[in-house]
Homo-oligomer: A and B are copies of this chain.
Amino acid sequence: MIEISENSLTLRIGNFELAHSEDFPIFAVGRGENTYEMSHGNFNISKYYNEKIPLRKFKVLSKNENQCEILFFSPSGEELKSKFSLIADKLTIEILSASKNLNRFWIYIPTYESEEIYGCGEQYSYLNLRGKRVPLWVSEQGVGRNKRDIITHFANFKDDAGGDWHTTYFPQPTFVSSRNYYSIVHSYAYSEFDFSHRNFHELEIHEIPQKIEFGTGNSLIDTVVKLTKSIGLPNPLPDWVYDGVILGLQGGRDVVVPKIMRALEKGLKITGLWIQDWEGKRITTFGKQLMWNWVYDENMYPNLPEMIDQLRDMGIRTLGYINTFLALEGSLYQEASKKGYLVRKPNGEEYHVVVTTFPAALVDFTNPEAREWIKKVIKSNMIGIGLSGWMADFGEYLPTDAVLYDGTPAELYHNRYPVDWAKINAEAVEEAGKMGEVVFFMRAGNLHSARYSTLFWHGDQLVNWSKDDGLPSVIVAALSMTMSGIGLTHSDIGGYTTLAKNVPDIVVTKRTKELFMRWAEQSTFTPVMRTHEGNWPDENWQFDSDEETLKHFARMSMVHYALKPYIKQLVEKYAYEGKPIIMPLNLRYRIENTEELKYQYLFGEDLLVAPVIESGQDTKKVFIPDDEWVHLWSGKRYTGGTYEIEAPIGYPPVFYLADSEWKDVFEKAGDMK
């Protein structure tokens, strides 16, 4: 509904409203300049504002029932021509033109005391963002991510790499409100969404965006479904992905094959072997790192295509690794450099970025020839040798002072770089005719990544129990991704970042046996189970470090496999209908405090999961919502209330709906020995 009077303007869909008056204008505009300092993919951003001018006046240029064009302006001459379209449950604002030289934009949304806000892409520390000012910038997530944490302090001291509660690989200019509306800002510019005010939200965009979209739903879950569809739906996962775990191993054929054999013997259900070092490796002060020249390494994996075939015959797919860089020592770099496919500095030289310890060149995705070239590399060197998937790593490192082929300012392209990286990977798979058979997984992302990438993983967690960067953080990450319309997520079982060598004793962080087992239990109740050895494999507890772990992990792989029919239909309902997979409880139940319950989740509507995320626990307090729930392992029934649940290793608190149509599947999973 559009209401216009002489001095005010109201736009309403459902119970969402935008209201304009002289005292409370919808828009402000201005000019500003940011300074970006990058250290290993971590950014220190200083903002300066020349001016911030509310557009208090407006003039209706045209109007019918569901659409109007309105000129907002200030007496000093700043103008914004906008078009509002209301179609059913959706309000779209298009900015048709703006005065020259404006590069800052603010939109104001009225709010109410009790409103909660979720989303903004992948958030690790907070699910409810009300009270926060959320920067949206693609970057490393940081190590520790808590200014009071000694590890964060140490990481900052070394490389400004400690991060903060909001640093993320995958920000997204969207959010969902507990008042059953969603918002999408169509812009890749640096932005800050400010939910810290009592009476209004302020979305600040560092350009004049083209389009902003609001939609309402009948319920919170309906709102999320609508956002999810609007963001873009991917294909379902390949069927083989559900058939067990994807085992992350490395070290060459002679190391990985015997490990697989032993694991199979012990009953581990393996569906994939992920060898990130398929292209060779190097040793650095950060650990064992990869070669970054996307050609398989004949020394480590002699006749790799044959090995891939043999494994496939055993029901095991092989996955590799690629990222946005090219190692300066490699043949691909030579070729790309000669052809001019690399990101440049203002002085015309190639931009070589130090990622961890060595410099590498970045492929320029704004160059159509470079995109075709890297797609060809994927198609021939990866899909061509039989790989069924890969980690498509990185996407956060485009420097803001880079010079790009198509002339786009790097500051405005930075947040889009990982989206194009996803698109390139997707196109390569599509062109090879392998969509639905190949799975690649990414950590970096932004608006529309969801429609391109086949799967996401939560990035490089610390191998510990910390809320901001350890096991608990992957649960919040999954939930915030869901609330951002992205359904297919998983994590490195056991975490990745190990602080073991060249660090002071006080920050040494190595994966423990207990952490590995608890992390595996949580991953069992996500779409995909995959391990990672971490950056210092020898210092971390691994799936086969002792018999007990291997036995526990084998059983978990069987539980996950037993759930295949249930998980597969969840993924299909997400891919076809936009239905969320890993859900906060408030998508189904009336919950008082979402934030307090954020470490429990629904895995589909029929499973309630409350992973053990602290060390030394053998019971856990669990909130059971209304409905009758059956404890997966004991068959004991619970309903509405908080219970202390037995949770020894191997038996995390998981419940299924008593009247679920998947009861047989759950019983089978629960009976797994």
Contact = CB atoms under 8 A, between A and B. Distances in A.
Contacts of A77: 75
A51 B52 contact: yes
A501 interface: no
Interface stretch (A84-92, A147-155, A305-313): A147-155
B49 A49 contact: yes
Residue picked from A48, A51, A53, A75, most chain B C-beta under 10 Å = A51
Contacts of A75: 74-77
Interface in A23-46: 28, 30, 46
Contacts of A53: 51-53, 76
Interface in A42-83: 46, 48-54, 56, 74-77
A53 B28 CA distance: 11
Contact of A54 (B46, B50, B194): B50
Contact of A74 (B30, B48, B76, B147): B76
A157 interface: yes
B28 A56 contact: no
Interface string A194-235: 101100000000000000000000000000000000000000
Contacts of A194: 48
A506 interface: yes
Given A75-B74, A77-B75, A147-B156, A30 B52 contact: yes
Contacts of A74: 75-76
Interface residues of A, number: 25
A76 B49 CA distance: 19
A385 B422 CA distance: 80
A49 B150 CA distance: 33
A573 B9 CA distance: 68
A51 B76 contact: no
Nearest to A49: B52
A506 B507 CA distance: 12
Contact of A76 (B48, B52, B76, B157): B76
A156 B149 CA distance: 10
B49 A51 contact: no
Q: Is the interface of A mostly helix, strand, loop or mixed?
A: mixed
Contacts of A56: 76
A52 B31 CA distance: 10
A52 B53 CA distance: 6
A192 to B, nearest CB: 11
A157 to B, nearest CB: 5
A434 to B, nearest CB: 48
Contacts of A196: 46, 48
Contacts of A49: 49, 52
Nearest to A25: B51
Contacts of A157: 148
A83 B506 CA distance: 61
Nearest to A78: B76
Contacts of A52: 30, 49-53
Interface in A70-117: 74-77
B51 A28 contact: yes
A194 B196 CA distance: 26
Contacts of A50: 52, 54
A362 to B, nearest CB: 28
Contacts of A76: 53, 56, 74-76
Contacts of A197: 48
Contacts of A48: 194, 196-197
A295 to B, nearest CB: 41
A656 B236 CA distance: 83
Contact of A156 (B28, B30, B51, B148): B148
Contacts of A150: 153
Nearest to A194: B48
Nearest to A55: B76
A547 B624 CA distance: 72
A54 B54 contact: no
Nearest to A148: B157
A147 B74 CA distance: 42
Nearest to A28: B51
10 contacts: A30-B52, A46-B196, A48-B194, A49-B49, A51-B52, A51-B53, A74-B75, A75-B76, A76-B76, A506-B506
Interface of A: 28, 30, 46, 48-54, 56, 74-77, 147-148, 150, 153, 156-157, 194, 196-197, 506
Given A48-B194, A48-B197, A148-B156, 17 more contacts: A28-B51, A30-B52, A48-B196, A49-B49, A50-B54, A51-B52, A51-B53, A52-B53, A53-B53, A53-B76, A56-B76, A75-B75, A75-B76, A75-B77, A76-B76, A147-B156, A506-B506
